[in-house]
Structure 1
Amino acid sequence: MSDDVEYMHQSIAQSIRDHGIDTMFGLVGDANLFLANHFVSACGGTLVPAAHEGGTVLMAQAYTQASGKVGVATVTQGPGLTNCFTALREGVVARRPMILLCGDTPVTAPFHPQNIDQREVVKATGAGFEQVKAPETASRDVATAFYRARKERRPIVVNIPSDFMWAEVKHQTVVFPAPNAPTVITEGSAHEEAIGMIASARRPLILAGAGAVPAKDNLIALAERLEAPLATTLKGTGLFKGHPNNIGYFGTLSTAGAYDVIGAADCIIVFGALMHIFTTDRGELLKGKRVVQINNSESDVGRFYQPDAVLVADAAQTADNFLYWLNEAEVAPSGFSRELPSHDVSVHPKGDPEKSTDGCINLEFALDRLNEALPENRIMLTDGGRYITEVWCRVNVPDPNSFHMSDNFAAIGQGMQQAIGAAHGDPTRPVVLFMGDGGFMMGGMNEFNTAVRTNRDLIVIICNDSAYGAEHIQMLDRQMDPSLTEFDWPSFSEIARSLGGQGIEVTSPKELEAAIEAIEARKGPIIVDLKLDPNNVPRMRI
């Protein structure tokens, strides 16, 4: 063989670099070892070695959100893929464009012990499947996967039979232009009907979701013209922070004051939001109101609530269009924002340290104090558990893109992996992860050392009630013995130190201050273990 011979595994690795990707998350095995090696040794890429295959997929998903690039992960055949099942489903529900390069057993070895129909496994998760059809098509197949990931906004699994890996090929650079749907401005009867509802409203309110984040300034201009309050969904968190019209969350996470404002509104103008059951409090918050929904995806309209008027359109340009017609028609401002209370209705009442029980700290107080003390330029992630709604209500983020929700599939134990991915996606900022004790034991512990090995700036706050909290409450509500939901865990602070990081336990306000000092002086990943009374943790706000 001459030195200039190229092989398919090299072509695939180079195809990843051709798409501007210099970081890949992986766990190597027989069927993906050589492409991962070439990505590092010859393409100048970095491989982040995870401890579990599912972790690679979750890391790549958070990398996508933090970096704006398509995250890439790689795993081996058979159990390497099946270990990614829940993580792939998370990416589908969260709409995370990413690529999973998955080796497969040789097509000539149907009785291989790791053989499984990988297409059917992937299909069951809702992710996309792209087959490498032949060695000579590999670079084009990878390019197609990147295109599909962006266009379909979901993970795409690239299936690579291992008996192709050493086939001789001539690499061709193939990169398809990013899909670019034209911006839509509405007109006609639907548009006129929506304008009429807004113009006639006496107390309009503007609600923004994740799809309206780029339209922030346009929505503020419309709100100021209408003198309308501004609110967000969970995934729009922090979008209007600091604006005098801001009332914070719309839905079950709202403060009592915000609920009153929402109750007084007569028209809700919704930009870029699905109007989930928790956003609308199962429709209760929208009763007796006119609802105008603007979304650039027709499939996202009417999934949870049927609005009175629908515009499938761009949020920013539609807001500008509304503003133009309001001015043309000389519609008077509503004056609704002038009715807002003098205090900030977006902020929940402070927690009381005196409500702590012996050996535990009050969760609301601890979160309020951490919100003040944690680095302001943080990226924040939350794992699943009953504590999370309290975190969402009390711990701020600089902007919606700095907030990552890791349990879109309602699966706990996925936060640590995504925190590591976010820390690689934007290494200039500290990453703060809030997770429960069950989530840490399920998926956090096995990847904390990955954060240590890769030297990430990661602050982990474990809300530790020594229980599966949501289930604990259900047992108590039915006067049943909750012992099946309770656990005698090992010391998480000691685990953190044994895995190469820092760890500190908090059972009192004084120890919380010591933990804050440790966070400020951190040299690497740190775990703060908040000891909570399982019978004194607020119920979820859902």
Structure 2
Amino acid sequence: MSDKKEYMHQSIAQAVRDHGVDIMFGLVGDANLFMANHFVNGCGGKLVPAAHEGGSVLMALAYTQSAGKIGVATVTQGPGLTNCFTALREGVVARRPMILLCGDTPVTAAFHPQNIDQREVVKATGAGFEQVQSPQTAARDVANAFFRAHKERRPIVVNIPSDFMWAEVEHQSVVFPRPSVAGVITEGTVHEEAIGMIASAKRPLILAGSGAVAAKENLIALSERMEAPLATTLKGTGLFAGHPNNIGYFGTLSTAEAYDVIGAADCVIVFGAWMHFLTTDRGELLKGKRVIQVNNNPSDIGTFYQPDAVLIADAAKTADNIIYWLDEAEIQPTGFSTELPAHNIATHPKGDPNKAKPGFINFEYALDRLNETLPKDRIMLTDGGRFITEVWCRVDVPDPKSFHMSDNFAAIGQGMQQAIGAAHGAPTRPVVLFTGDGGFMMGGMNEFNTAVRTNCDLIVIVCNDSAYGAEHIQMIDRQMDPALTEFQWPSFAKVAQSLGGQAVEVTSPYELETAIEAIKNRKGPIMVELKLDANNVPRMRM
């Protein structure tokens, strides 16, 4: 224990550093200013100053994924917290651990103008709440928040009354061991029934989600042993890219040929996925099939679909165990994967550059060209909007951890902030963000300058159809006037330039090549504005 007297705001900053955190995202106010200052000037940390409090939370969420360690944000009291409501909910739905250090109004100032019941605000989002009980317990309260974030896989808000900030304390480093789940293999009747279903399958298929990423090689070995096709959920995107048994997505994002393969399967072995209703096409893809779900998280079971057998177990060890029993029983390979076409059925047909009116670029063609020419080691994020499913189907990522969804809560306008967090979490890799015009106006514009100020290697593709596209097509389908969904936005390219970045507007294949060249020669954040015809953007594959 140190005998040096410190103030509580210094102890909290040091407690964060004690957990190996060297970067924090935030917006300072009078309830968190001194803590943030000490984190930078007393602890040698770095603060990335966001333009909006919610942006700081979103940056920390993406940092968690790209850096592989807990992201931390800080905001001030009252409106500082309420501005984070949607972002916190995004983190809860995404099941992304992070820490939000939030100042609170003084306990002794009941009529403070920024006073609000912060516990109830946080509770409504589904995030965890950790109250700093006293100046003397502050470091331990912070440590408990980190422990809970890992354990509960959600944001934890540390609530810090501002009248504690200058209380004298003796800082003591407290770091709790990170909770871990031992990898297990099931046994008993359910295990035997599941193995029996797999062994008797004539056309088995292996489906992997984000919870099976670490088991990639084990699942490939199982696929080759059984001669079973490989598929992934959206969050498992890219896991089996390049393998001859890979058919790409399982679900509404599948190609027509992959959909046929899925339809022919009689057994689906699901690893590390919770079987979202879009993954199963609302159950249609699993009709008439035996389904075995392997997951080490019991809360994932039965959320959307009730499988025939459930194994609460480690994906890698279970895949190896299945191979063992198939070998013991001398079960022959099924030959199902040998029926796959020689060409890659995970790839959607190429876009046609001629299918666009003058003044617009064909969206599918533009995505195909960008996929070919964007940096190969990219991290990719998508904001919410009508355009996203076409991006998912046409733009590759190196591996699932390089793919970020920013709209788990189905809220648009969160992509730019998460792209900045991802860029700081993996500073040696380029980050590509696909966002819509509505999303850019809602949340992207105010943080693009943050990307410039902090020198992110960020490539922003704005898919601009001058409309809220999903709503636009609904109005058209019902033969209604879509005027309420249409907008005359400013030039996003010029806006990006005024915010300090590079930018190119694209209305033709020729201008697209100019943009591609500009991306290759970028000096900092760059925006490419794709001008799209609102009546000629592919429908969402939902």
Tell me the TM-score normalised to structure 2 length.
Answer: 0.99
| CA distance, structure 1, for counterparts of residue 529 and residue 113 of structure 2 | 42
Alignment-mate amino acid for residue 318 of structure 1: T
Alignment-mate amino acid for residue 44 of structure 1: G
Q: What's the counterpart of residue 499 of structure 1?
A: 499
What are the Cα deviations for residues 9-61 of structure 1, in whole angstroms up to 9, with x where unaligned? 00000000000000000100000000000000010000000000000000000
What are the Cα deviations for residues 397-427 of structure 1, in whole angstroms up to 9, with x where unaligned? 0000000000000000000000000000000
Map 1:271-420; keep pairs closer than 5 Å: 271-420=271-420
| CA distance, structure 1, for counterparts of residue 354 and residue 288 of structure 2 | 42
Tell me the secondary structure at the aligned position of residue 435 of structure 1: strand
Q: What's the counterpart of residue 267 of structure 1?
A: 267
Q: What's the counterpart of residue 258 of structure 1?
A: 258
Tell me the secondary structure at the aligned position of residue 221 of structure 1: helix
| CA distance, structure 1, for counterparts of residue 26 and residue 538 of structure 2 | 38
Q: Which runs of 5+ in 1 are unaligned?
A: none
| CA distance, structure 2, for counterparts of residue 197 and residue 399 of structure 1 | 30
Tell me the secondary structure at the aligned position of residue 103 of structure 1: strand
Alignment-mate amino acid for residue 245 of structure 1: N
Q: What's the counterpart of residue 514 of structure 2?
A: 514
Q: What's the counterpart of residue 11 of structure 2?
A: 11
Alignment-mate amino acid for residue 515 of structure 1: A
The reply on whether 1:139 has 2:139 as its aligned counterpart is yes
| CA distance, structure 2, for counterparts of residue 131 and residue 83 of structure 1 | 19
Using the TM superposition, give the Cα deviation of residue 5 of structure 1 relative to its aligned residue in structure 2, in angstroms: 3.0
Tell me the secondary structure at the aligned position of residue 355 of structure 1: coil
| CA distance, structure 2, for counterparts of residue 143 and residue 504 of structure 1 | 46
What are the Cα deviations for residues 273-319 of structure 1, in whole angstroms up to 9, with x where unaligned? 01000000000000000000001011100100010011011000000
Tell me the secondary structure at the aligned position of residue 370 of structure 1: helix
Alignment-mate amino acid for residue 500 of structure 1: G
The reply on whether 1:54 has 2:54 as its aligned counterpart is yes
Q: Which runs of 5+ in 2 are unaligned?
A: none
| CA distance, structure 1, for counterparts of residue 340 and residue 453 of structure 2 | 50
Tell me the secondary structure at the aligned position of residue 24 of structure 2: strand
Q: Once structures 1 and 2 are overlaid, which stretch shifts more, 176-185 or 503-512?
A: 176-185
Alignment-mate amino acid for residue 282 of structure 1: R
Using the TM superposition, give the Cα deviation of residue 534 of structure 1 relative to its aligned residue in structure 2, in angstroms: 0.1
Q: What's the counterpart of residue 110 of structure 1?
A: 110
What are the Cα deviations for residues 55-93 of structure 1, in whole angstroms up to 9, with x where unaligned? 000000000000011000000000000000000000000
Off by >3 Å, runs of 4+ in structure 1: none
Alignment identity in percent? 82
What are the Cα deviations for residues 483-503 of structure 1, in whole angstroms up to 9, with x where unaligned? 000000000010011000011
The reply on whether 1:35 has 2:39 as its aligned counterpart is no
| CA distance, structure 2, for counterparts of residue 30 and residue 293 of structure 1 | 50
Tell me the secondary structure at the aligned position of residue 270 of structure 1: strand
Alignment-mate amino acid for residue 483 of structure 1: A
Using the TM superposition, give the Cα deviation of residue 4 of structure 1 relative to its aligned residue in structure 2, in angstroms: 4.7
| CA distance, structure 2, for counterparts of residue 70 and residue 270 of structure 1 | 28
Tell me the secondary structure at the aligned position of residue 353 of structure 1: coil
Q: What's the counterpart of residue 130 of structure 1?
A: 130
| CA distance, structure 2, for counterparts of residue 228 and residue 330 of structure 1 | 17
Alignment-mate amino acid for residue 139 of structure 2: S
| CA distance, structure 1, for counterparts of residue 286 and residue 181 of structure 2 | 31
Q: What's the counterpart of residue 156 of structure 1?
A: 156
Q: What's the counterpart of residue 234 of structure 2?
A: 234
Alignment-mate amino acid for residue 430 of structure 1: P
Map 1:211-250; keep pairs closer than 5 Å: 211-250=211-250
| CA distance, structure 2, for counterparts of residue 79 and residue 17 of structure 1 | 27
| CA distance, structure 1, for counterparts of residue 272 and residue 121 of structure 2 | 32
Alignment-mate amino acid for residue 171 of structure 1: H
| CA distance, structure 1, for counterparts of residue 476 and residue 381 of structure 2 | 29
Using the TM superposition, give the Cα deviation of residue 342 of structure 1 relative to its aligned residue in structure 2, in angstroms: 1.6
Tell me the TM-score normalised to structure 1 length.
Answer: 0.99
Q: C-alpha root-mean-square deviation of aligned residues, in Å?
A: 0.7
| CA distance, structure 2, for counterparts of residue 222 and residue 362 of structure 1 | 41
| CA distance, structure 2, for counterparts of residue 275 and residue 38 of structure 1 | 45
Alignment-mate amino acid for residue 49 of structure 1: P
Alignment-mate amino acid for residue 224 of structure 1: E
Query: Number of aligned pairs?
Result: 540
Q: Is the 8 A contact 2:4 2:170 kept in 1?
A: no
Q: What's the counterpart of residue 456 of structure 1?
A: 456
What are the Cα deviations for residues 126-153 of structure 1, in whole angstroms up to 9, with x where unaligned? 0000000000000000000000000000
